[in-house]
Each structure stands twice: as structure tokens, then as C-alpha cells.
């Protein structure tokens, strides 16, 4: 995980050369035939420390499609990985001065998305949160055995904040306010890769498909009367995986952030990997997971993280005020309780 997903389920766990994400919280639970008498096929592989799977309806050259997908994923790692020292993002992070650095259009786009979500969420989502994430033992460093303490948290907080970054176009460039600002775009980068694959499939003439990278999904169907893709939202508890609710995704994207797959206990306290970049500490509210449906996986990815950090009440209030389709599952004294935003209700099946 590392940026706020770092901040949420997608934490950077630290394997050399790859982005490492925690287990997905969404699953394909089935769909009807996409087209009468059509065939369905899928291919999958490893990427970004997790797995990707592409399922398509109709007859297509699967080997050619997969070759194109693999190329897109390699390109995304070359642009956005913090584990490839020669990636665009790693070179930006290594820049020793607070000056404008020319970057690729892809990196500029993802950075702009991250900054937009940061501002709209009041800093609940932040691409510079890695120093605090690492401080609490959820980054690639050594495990933490005790709370880092107020002084160390304050020192780390001085290095983070979306106000530490500026971006401009033509040519694309990014500037850090401090040389020790560390940018990690894993909270939106995985979703962006899903979107790029979806665009590629459309150009290749694939009309019905589902793209899944570590639980970040984007679906498309050729017309509204075709059967929708059904996606299951995982019940947020430790143990065997079961479903809380099912949604009809149709043509769109979906992502979930949750706190129950990545945490540790020390000194009698439990610390979640969901770090609030505003306070520099793990969140302490009772929100267990947030699912967001959006037009793009990039937006769904980032907003599920931001709302998860904000908590059940502030998150739902913002979702409704912005017209976001979000689904909140909280822990209560009687078990689990879920609350959809007004816009999310239309996706629920059960």
C-alpha cells in the first residue's frame, strides 16, 4: 500500500521491483450470457504485486489481447512504480532539488487525479503519505513493535501533504516543495492501469469485458440490454470469505478499501494500515470497508481510499454532497451495518 492505500487495502509491502497490494475485497460472482450463444474466455497473470484477470465475451484472439495487456502493464510500471529505480516516478522522487521536473504525460495525469481527490477530500487522500505509513510499519521497512511517538510523527508529517506538490501541462512537469517529499501513486495507479486496459480492449473491438487488477475492476457491455456484470462485495471480517452484498456493475468501474486484511497488534492495541495523512496515525473509527462505483477505475480506486480514511459519517456526507456512488460497511455492537450513498442504491442487487 502506500499512499493512503497505502492508506487502505493496497499497501506497499515491499518486494523488490514490484508494487505489492493486499488481497482484493471484490469478486466476480457471475453473470448471464453476455451475448446469446457467445463464448467467454479469460486470461490472467502477475502484476504490481497482485494478479490481473481479463474476461471477454465473444470470439477474439486471446494471445494477441494478452500480449497487448502485458505491454500496457509494463508501461505502467515504467511510469509509476516506486520499486523500479529507473521508473519516471522513482526518478522524480530522487530529484535532489525543489524544481520543476519534466515527466511523462501518464505520470502527470495520475498525479493530477491524486491531487484532485486530495483537495476534494480535505487531505484524506494524499500521494505523499508514505513517510508516515513507513513509520507505522506498513511500508517496505522493518516491522514496528511500538507506537512511533508524537515527535517522530510530527517530523514525518512535515514531509507530507498535497500542498507540497505542483503540476503543470505542456510540457508536463511536477515540482516538489521539499527535496525529501516522497510520492507514491499506488492509491490511484492500479485503477489507472485498469482504465488503460479497458481503452485498449475497446480499440481492439472487444464489446463485452471485465478487467480486474487486484480487485479494482472495470466492466463494459455492448448495449444496455445485455446482462450486467455482477460483483460481490466481501463481508469485512477475518476468516473465510463471504459476501455482504452484490451489485450490478453494468458498464463502469468499482473498487473497495478495507481495514481487516492488513493490521498488527502490539502493546494491547490494534493498528490498521489505514493511515490518516492529516493526523499521521492509523484511523480509529468503526468503518470496515468502502466500495465506490465510478466511471473510471482510477476514480473508484482513489475515492474508496479517501472515504475509508474519512470514516462512516463524514465519508457518507461527502459522498452524498458530491454525488458519489459509495457503499459503507461499519462494525456495530450487533455485527455489521451497511449504508449506501443515495447514488449507490441503483447498483444493489441483494
**Higher-confidence position of 72 and 13:** 72
Query: Peptide bond before 266: cis, by omega within 30 degrees of 0?
Result: no
Q: How far is the C-alpha of 321 from the C-alpha of 288, rounded, in Å? A: 22
pLDDT above 60 for 202: yes
Q: List pLDDT tens digits, range 83-135.
A: 889 999 999 999 988 889 999 999 999 999 999 999 999 999 999 998 888 88
State yes or no: pLDDT of 17 exceeds 50.
no
pTM of the model: 0.86
CA gap 304, 107 in Å, rounded? 21
Q: With a cut of 70, say whether residue 166 has pLDDT above it.
A: yes
Domains and CATH numbers, the chain: 26-347 (3.10.520.10)
User: How big, in percent rounded to 5, are the helix, strand and coil portions of the chain?
Assistant: 30, 30, 40
Q: What is the pLDDT of residue 225?
A: 56
Place of cell 501518464: 106
**CB distance 84 to 92 below 8 Å:** no
pLDDT for residue 263 is more than 80 = no
Amino acid at each position: 500500500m502506500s499512499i493512503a492505500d497505502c492508506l487502505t487495502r493496497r499497501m506497499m509491502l515491499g518486494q523488490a521491483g514490484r508494487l505489492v497490494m493486499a488481497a482484493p475485497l471484490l469478486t466476480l460472482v457471475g453473470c448471464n450470457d453476455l451475448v446469446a450463444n457467445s463464448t467467454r474466455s479469460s486470461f490472467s497473470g502477475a502484476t504490481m504485486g497482485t494478479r490481473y484477470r481479463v474476461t471477454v465475451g465473444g470470439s477474439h484472439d486471446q494471445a494477441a489481447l494478452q500480449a497487448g495487456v502485458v505491454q500496457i502493464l509494463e508501461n505502467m510500471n515504467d511510469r509509476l512504480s516506486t520499486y523500479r529505480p529507473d521508473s519516471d516516478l522513482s526518478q522524480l522522487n530522487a530529484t535532489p532539488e525543489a524544481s520543476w521536473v519534466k515527466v511523462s504525460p501518464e505520470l502527470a495525469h495520475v498525479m493530477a487525479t491524486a491531487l484532485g481527490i486530495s483537495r476534494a477530500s480535505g487531505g484524506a487522500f494524499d500521494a505523499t503519505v508514505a513517510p508516515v505509513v513507513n513509520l507505522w510499519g506498513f511500508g517496505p521497512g522493518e516491522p514496528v513493535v511500538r507506537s512511533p511517538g508524537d515527535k517522530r510523527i510530527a517530523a514525518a508529517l512535515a514531509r507530507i501533504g498535497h500542498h507540497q506538490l505542483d503540476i503543470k501541462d505542456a510540457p508536463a512537469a511536477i515540482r516538489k516543495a521539499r527535496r525529501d517529499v516522497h510520492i507514491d501513486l499506488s492509491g490511484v495507479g492500479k485503477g489507472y492501469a485498469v482504465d488503460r486496459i479497458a481503452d485498449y480492449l475497446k480499440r481492439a473491438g472487444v464489446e463485452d469485458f471485465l478487467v480486474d487488477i487486484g480487485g479494482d475492476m472495470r466492466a463494459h457491455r455492448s448495449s444496455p440490454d445485455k446482462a450486467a456484470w455482477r460483483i460481490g462485495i466481501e463481508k469485512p471480517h477475518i476468516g473465510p470469505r463471504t459476501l455482504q452484498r452484490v451489485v450490478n456493475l453494468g458498464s463502469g468501474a468499482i473498487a473497495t478499501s478495507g481495514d481487516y486484511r492488513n493490521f498488527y497488534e502490539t502493546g494491547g492495541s490494534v493498528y490498521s494500515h489505514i493511515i490518516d495523512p492529516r493526523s499521521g496515525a492509523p484511523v480509529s473509527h468503526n468503518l470496515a470497508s468502502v466500495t465506490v462505483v465510478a466511471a473510471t477505475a482510477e476514480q473508484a480506486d482513489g475515492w474508496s481510499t479517501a472515504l475509508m480514511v474519512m470514516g462512516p459519517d463524514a465519508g457518507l456526507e461527502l459522498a452524498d454532497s458530491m454525488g458519489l456512488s459509495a457503499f459503507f460497511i461499519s462494525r456495530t455492537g450487533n455485527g455489521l451495518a451497511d449504508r449506501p450513498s443515495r447514488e449507490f442504491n441503483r447498483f444493489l442487487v441483494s
